[in-house]
């Protein structure tokens, strides 16, 4: 496994990799969710590249860029075991050189849900993902369904900019109690950690009601909200039943819908989602 920092080093190493090349973009502090993406990539591709970059431009000024967890030595140890060909760990100045001023933005999809809560977040994501793709030039790229809206945005970006890459979205990995795996879970204190299972519980209560015949989006939002409210340590930011393609909030009956939510435990913000219906 080779580790590189700069784009010229990356390009040189990339040239020697057998095709198809799969890219797994990460912000490091790898957990089983990331590793499931890497395993999938190793299964499907002749060579796998993992990038580790905590991208400053997708964090808001009040967000946790500074305190986002990092552990490169442990990340490398985990990747070493998985038959990864190349790990790219760029410095911030490599990705955003002096005078940097070019941004990629996916318009309306970026304004809803997470984008509404985190202005500029998806502009940072779209820009860095474009750069990761143009630098690595992978045939396939792997992202997690955990960031459901991000997945839709990246698919749109790839289509709109004719990027020659196939985007593969992998299922959410969960702890035993259903909590979606996230690098940020490490910051939950023991009580918050227990309480955090409420996100998945709320999604499942809504799913159960749907399976029992409840088909009104407004009613499902209420059901999820009631479940969140019953957990004293949880403060919801939003609870959504949205069109899974457009991310527009839905009202009335539906065939297929994206249930999603953002919930805070103290300063720690968690998200989760579930697609229900056909």
Residue 127 or 185 with smaller CB distance to its own copies: 127
Q: Please choose, from the candidates 260, 261, 206, the residue with its C-alpha nearest in 3D space to the C-alpha of residue 235.
A: 261
Contact 94, 6 (CB under 8 A): yes
| Minimum gap (Å) between residue 164 Cβ and its own copies | 7
Q: How far apart are CA 158 and CA 164, in angstroms?
A: 8
Task: Return the residue matching tokens 């999603």.
Answer: 260
Scanning 137-236, the segments in alpha helix (DSSP H) are 148-160, 190-195, 198-211, 217-229
Residue 155 or 237 with smaller CB distance to its own copies: 155
| Minimum gap (Å) between residue 156 Cβ and its own copies | 6
For helices 217-229 and 198-211, angle between their N-to-C axes, nearest 10 degrees? 150
| Minimum gap (Å) between residue 93 Cβ and its own copies | 13
- Locate 181 and state its tokens: 């795996």
Q: How far apart are CA 193 and CA 185, in angstroms?
A: 7
Residue 156 or 269 with smaller CB distance to its own copies: 156
Which position among 31, 34, 121, 229 bears the catalytic label?
34
250 is catalytic: no
Residues contributing to the site for its own copies (CB under 8 A): 7, 11, 97, 99-109, 126, 130-131, 134-135, 137, 156-157, 159-164
| Minimum gap (Å) between residue 163 Cβ and its own copies | 6
Residue 153 or 198 with smaller CB distance to its own copies: 153
| Minimum gap (Å) between residue 53 Cβ and its own copies | 13
Q: How far apart are CA 198 and CA 231, in angstroms?
A: 7
Q: How far apart are CA 153 and CA 108, in angstroms?
A: 10
Residue 67 or 134 with smaller CB distance to its own copies: 134
Q: Catalytic residues, which ones?
A: 34
């Amino acid at each position: 496994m080779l580790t590189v920092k700069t784009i010229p080093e990356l390009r040189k190493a990339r040239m020697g990799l057998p095709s198809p090349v799969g890219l797994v973009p990460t912000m490091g502090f790898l957990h089983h969710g990331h590793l499931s993406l890497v395993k999938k990539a190793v299964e499907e591709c002749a060579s796998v590249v993992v990038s580790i970059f905590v991208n400053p431009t997708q964090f808001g000024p009040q967000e946790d860029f500074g305190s986002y967890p990092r552990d490169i030595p442990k990340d490398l140890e985990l990747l070493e075991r998985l038959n990864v060909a190349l790990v790219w760990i760029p410095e911030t100045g490599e990705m955003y050189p002096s005078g940097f001023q070019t941004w990629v933005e996916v318009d309306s999809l970026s304004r809803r849900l997470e984008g509404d809560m985190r202005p500029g977040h998806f502009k940072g994501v779209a820009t860095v993902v474009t750069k990761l793709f143009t630098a690595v030039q992978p045939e396939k790229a792997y992202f997690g369904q955990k960031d459901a809206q991000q997945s839709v945005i990246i698919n749109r970006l790839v289509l709109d900019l004719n990027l020659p890459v196939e985007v593969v979205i992998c299922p959410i990995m969960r702890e035993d109690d259903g909590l979606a795996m996230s690098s940020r879970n490490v910051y939950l204190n023991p009580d918050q950690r227990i309480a955090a299972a409420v996100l998945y519980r709320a999604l499942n209560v809504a799913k159960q009601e749907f399976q029992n015949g409840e088909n009104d989006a407004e009613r499902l939002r209420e059901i999820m909200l009631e479940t969140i409210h019953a957990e004293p340590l949880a403060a919801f930011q939003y609870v959504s039943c949205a069109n899974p393609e457009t991310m527009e909030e839905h009202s009335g009956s539906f065939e297929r819908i994206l249930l999603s939510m953002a919930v805070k435990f103290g300063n720690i913000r968690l998200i989760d989602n579930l697609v229900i219906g056909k």
